[in-house]
Amino acid sequence: MPTYRVPRRDIQFVMHEVLDMANHYQTIPGAEDVDADMIDAIMEEGAKFSENVVAPLNMSGDAEGCRWQDGDVTTPTGFKQAYDQFVEAGWPSLAHKPELGGQGLPESLGTMLNELTGTANWSWSMYPGLSHGAMNTLEAHGTEAQKQKYLLPLVAGSWTGTMCLTESHCGTDLGLLRTKAEPQADGSYGITGTKIFISAGEHDMAENIVHIVLARLPDAPQGTKGISLFIVPKFNVNDDGTLGERNSVVCGSIEEKMGIHGNATCVMNFDSAKGYLIGPENKGLNCMFTFMNTARIGTAVQGLCSSEGSFQGALEYAKERLQMRALTGPAAPEKPADPIIVHPDVRRMLLTQKAFAEGGRMLAYYTSQLNDTVNRGTDAVAIKEAETLLSLLTPIAKAFMTETGLESANLGVQCFGGHGFIKEYGMEQLVRDARISTIYEGTTGIQALDLLGRKVLMTQGETLRAFTKQVHKFCKAEAENDLLQEFIKPLAELNKQWGDLTMQVGMKAMQNRDEVGAASVDYLMYSGYVTLAYLFAKAAKAAQQALTSGTTEADFYNAKLFTARFYYSRLLPRTKSHEMAILSGADNLQGLSAEHFVF
């Protein structure tokens, strides 16, 4: 069983030296007192909870799973008790406004906490994690009365929340959904339909569950323009805030899944359940994207968790497992064989995991920093810039980080060899848990279409230029820094090529719109590698500055530079194959008719 240890020093490096979060918090109203010491203190308390309370439940929760009986779901042993401790410590209220019962701290600190609990036990962390999207949706679109009735208990953690979108006949294409919302005499709506794949849709960890549900009003327009959004509580709520009778929403079953066994993935049946409209009629999808964008950044963090967890497990094993001798001569002559960490191919796998974990951490925390500015900043120009950057980086973070997280998890099994395939070592669970991350909250293909089609081409490249301009300014500022040229020169070249590739795809798409779909996934992965290259260059700069100043942590900073060099020499060249695939066009995909797909 892998023993999770929070990577405290690396988190400090990203928060303090790469992103300078303490200065960033000076621009966030209510966060001015958050300095480096407070960040470290919050991290340390979150680390203790994650390492000592949640992590020990990871493998047992996977083995036991959730149990369904007559509509009720029981979570694995210890899950509820851990959640009670989580609530008692005040973690659910960390990043919410004081007037809503929150602590008023920035959302980026919540992202840091999400990494800690998520790496420790992703299945458990999904229960409180889904609630944040429900809270953000209610805060953005709910009435004051709805906030008082539903949001306050969610912030306190006594209730949890879900998002109910998917139906059996429609996944990504929500325009096909059939769930109905019939107006009632008391101003409520009767919600009728069945939703599937609802994470944390039913459980025994909180006293009430607030479902955020998409449904159609009578005579609503067809397609996505006819969707409205509703609050549907598990237990109806009285005017004084106490719980009333059970609402007519029931968990019909839970799915038997490949992974995340400790989290209940539910089929939810709504039988004229009492619901309440959030936001304008027929604008539900617009409101739901508040939830979806929160969930997409949260899922990006799962990719980080997969990379970090698999790296830690593989590294510990590689230092202890004896197998063969180093090709250059015995590294441990007193032992019958050398630890496998001496072998180049094992090093390749470990460094790939390390690079994706450390690069993913920088990207996740950077997007959360932008999110702080968008949601709580006061400078209109800074908010607009952050909105544009976040629009571009959200699909990149979600898809790229989950794909690389899955790759890392697979490498973890490979490092263990045959033992990695055996349950008792915990590495195969990481693969099973990671696999869903590339699918839910929009598959990699959907994120890629959103990035290339909506975010880049539909804005005439304006969204992309906001980021490539930032990269260009960084490269220009460091153009005379001899210590960084190994990073700056290739980054500048790729940054320019990114724009050129985009223009070529755009020109082809004017003649054939299939060119967008044909290029999109390779375009997204190319974008992810370049984005991480920029962040690794910033990390290299911070490391060089520390070494030049005479740090007492030379080993740490030299390891940072080594990892950045590995990324640039071993992983960044993957952009070349993605470039070739992008430019190969749509004909090699669309040229074969469906009838000729035979076996």
pLDDT in tens, 320-345: 999 999 999 999 999 999 999 999 99
Q: What is the pLDDT of residue 364?
A: 98
Joined tokens for residue 154: 């969610």
- From the CB of residue 332, how many other CB atoms can be counted at a distance below 10 Å? 13
Boundary-marking domain end, from 405, 426, 444: 444
**pTM score of the predicted model:** 0.97
- 79: three-class secondary structure by DSSP: helix
C-alpha distance from residue 503 to each of 471, 510, 578 (Å): 18, 11, 16
Residue 291 clears pLDDT 80, i.e. is over it: no
Nearest CA-CA partner of 401 in 310, 309, 300: 300
Q: What is the pLDDT of residue 399?
A: 98
CA–CA distance, 585 with 577 (Å, rounded to integer): 14
Q: Are residues 538 and 487 in the same domain?
A: yes
Residue 115 clears pLDDT 90, i.e. is over it: yes
Q: What is the pLDDT of residue 2?
A: 77
Q: How many CA atoms lie within 13 A of 88 on its CB side?
A: 7
CA torsion 475-479-484-490 (nearest 10°) is 60
Q: Are residues 429 and 298 in the same domain?
A: yes
Q: Compute φ and ψ for 198, nearest 5 degrees.
A: -90, 105
Q: Are residues 438 and 485 in the same domain?
A: no
- From the CB of residue 450, how many other CB atoms can be counted at a distance below 10 Å? 21
Boundary-marking domain end, from 395, 414, 444: 444
User: The CATH number of the domain where 426 resides is what?
Assistant: 1.20.140.10
CA–CA distance, 226 with 215 (Å, rounded to integer): 9
CA–CA distance, 200 with 277 (Å, rounded to integer): 22
Q: 417: which residues sit within 8 A by CB, 6+ positions away?
A: none
Q: What is the pLDDT of residue 1?
A: 63
Q: What is the pLDDT of residue 285?
A: 83
First CA to last CA distance, the chain: 42
Place of tokens 């293909």: 445
Joined tokens for residue 272: 């004229």
Boundary-marking domain end, from 403, 423, 444: 444
Task: Calculate ∠ Cα 421-426-428, nearest 5°.
Answer: 40
Q: Are residues 404 and 435 in the same domain?
A: yes
Q: Is the Cβ–Cβ distance between 456 and 502 less than 8 Å?
A: yes
Query: Average of pLDDT values for 499-513?
Result: 96
Residue 480 clears pLDDT 90, i.e. is over it: yes
Residue 174 clears pLDDT 80, i.e. is over it: no
CA–CA distance, 491 with 481 (Å, rounded to integer): 14
Residues of the domain holding 544: 450-589
Residue at 351 is within a domain? yes
Q: What is the pLDDT of residue 598?
A: 82
Q: Which pLDDT band holds residue 76 (cuts at 50, 70, 90)? A: very high
Query: What is the number of structural domains in the chain?
Result: 2
Joined tokens for residue 416: 């263990």
Mean pLDDT of the chain: 95
Joined tokens for residue 353: 């995991």
Q: What is the pLDDT of residue 330?
A: 93
Q: Are residues 422 and 487 in the same domain?
A: no
Joined tokens for residue 14: 């990203």
Residue 455 clears pLDDT 90, i.e. is over it: yes
Q: Are residues 324 and 467 in the same domain?
A: no
Residue at 249 is within a domain? no
CA–CA distance, 444 with 425 (Å, rounded to integer): 29
Q: What is the pLDDT of residue 282?
A: 93
For every residue of 103-125, DSSP letters joined together read ----HHHHHHHHHHHHHH-HHHH
Q: Are residues 348 and 434 in the same domain?
A: yes
Q: What is the pLDDT of residue 288?
A: 78
Q: Are residues 295 and 440 in the same domain?
A: yes
Residue at 222 is within a domain? no
Q: Which pLDDT band holds residue 83 (cuts at 50, 70, 90)? A: very high
CA–CA distance, 39 with 15 (Å, rounded to integer): 8
Q: In one letter, which amino acid is 146?
A: Q
Q: Are residues 481 and 362 in the same domain?
A: no
Q: Which pLDDT band holds residue 292 (cuts at 50, 70, 90)? A: confident
Q: Which pLDDT band holds residue 395 (cuts at 50, 70, 90)? A: very high
Nearest CA-CA partner of 583 in 512, 518, 511: 518
Residue at 184 is within a domain? no
Q: Tens digits of per-residue pLDDT, 299-310? A: 999 999 999 999
- 586: three-class secondary structure by DSSP: coil
Residue at 283 is within a domain? no
Q: Is the Cβ–Cβ distance between 405 and 356 less than 8 Å?
A: yes
Q: Tens digits of per-residue pLDDT, 526-548? A: 999 999 999 999 999 999 999 99
Q: Is the Cβ–Cβ distance between 29 and 376 less than 8 Å?
A: yes
Place of tokens 């994120």: 447
Residue 147 clears pLDDT 80, i.e. is over it: yes
Residue at 268 is within a domain? no
Q: Are residues 393 and 457 in the same domain?
A: no
Q: Are residues 312 and 400 in the same domain?
A: yes
Q: In one letter, which amino acid is 250?
A: V
Residue at 304 is within a domain? yes
Q: Are residues 434 and 523 in the same domain?
A: no
Joined tokens for residue 270: 């709504």
Q: Tens digits of per-residue pLDDT, 45-75? A: 999 999 999 999 999 999 999 999 999 999 9
Residue at 394 is within a domain? yes
| Active site residues per annotation | 441
